[in-house]
Amino acid sequence: MPETILIVEDEPSLQETLAYNLQKQGYTVECAGDGRTALDTTRRLKPDLILLDIMLPNLDGVEVCKTLRRENFQSPIIMLTARDDEIDRVVGLEIGADDYVTKPFSMRELMARVKAQLRRTDTIREELDKIKTTSPGQDTLIFENLVINRTRREVIFNGLPLAIKPQEYDLLLFFGEHKGQMLSREFILERVWGWDYIGDSRTVDVHVRWLRQKVEKDPAVPTRIVTVRGGGYRFEG
């Protein structure tokens, strides 16, 4: 069954061009021209991926992304913007976007990013299925007040379920599976995001900052996810 992609773009010509190229690649495509319609369509359709413009009428892309993540929408979101501003990129990641593309962009690059995100989602599902069928009873990592459950993709912190985004979970699990090891940003990016992810190591730093806010006693003085000067990060458990 083809994956469904929701295009949220208020410029008709670009919306039509995106839809045409995605359909040529075999995807099912739906479109929305404003933020509120995007929310309604996502709740109804539950798309496999969203291309989300930042500048939208009624409700901008930042608010749409924040709302969807609060509602536990876990499929990839790729933000589209006309600005090439690093602050915009960081904000996009902070609110839960998975990738960020600046207009004007080449259609080939965008298609590559779409495929990379969908492939990563498929890999996560396959690994989860493998865990369920081959590792019964061996699905939990325990570190003092932190428990990571592979099967349920759930994190328990101080005895309570932790609200955590999919990529935060993937990164935390990767840290947990490599406790005590120095992991470079490049190695983390390759293993957690995938070798074909089009991005840079600042993505890792942003997600580490999110995790520290959730699993550290004092995020300003981290003792669980420690920075290795000139190298990367080390998870102390």
In this prediction, residue 119 carries a pLDDT of 86
In this model, does residue 131 exceed pLDDT 60? no
Q: In which band, very low, low, confident or very high, does the pLDDT at 226 lie, cut at 50, 70 and 90? A: very high
Name the pTM for this structure. Answer: 0.62
User: What domains can you pick out in the chain, each with its CATH number?
Assistant: 4-121 (3.40.50.2300), 135-235 (1.10.10.10)
Mean pLDDT of 2-25: 95
In this model, does residue 135 exceed pLDDT 60? no
In this prediction, residue 127 carries a pLDDT of 58
Which one, of 33, 12, 97, 114, lies nearest residue 63 by Cα? 97
For residues 226 and 234, give the distance between their C-alpha atoms in angstroms, rounded to a whole number.
5
In this prediction, residue 82 carries a pLDDT of 78
Long-range contacts (CB closer than 8 Å, 24 or more residues apart) made by 63-70: 63/35, 64/8, 64/35, 64/38, 64/39, 65/92, 65/95, 65/96, 65/97, 66/95, 66/96, 67/39, 68/39, 68/42, 68/96, 69/95, 69/96, 69/165
Q: What percent of the chain has pLDDT over 90?
A: 50
In this prediction, residue 81 carries a pLDDT of 84
pLDDT tens digits, 89-101: 556 667 778 888 8
Lowest mean pLDDT, pick from 81-95, 193-207, 215-229:
81-95
At 178, the amino acid letter reads H
Helices (H), the chain: 12-24, 35-45, 61-70, 86-94, 107-134, 166-177, 185-188, 202-215
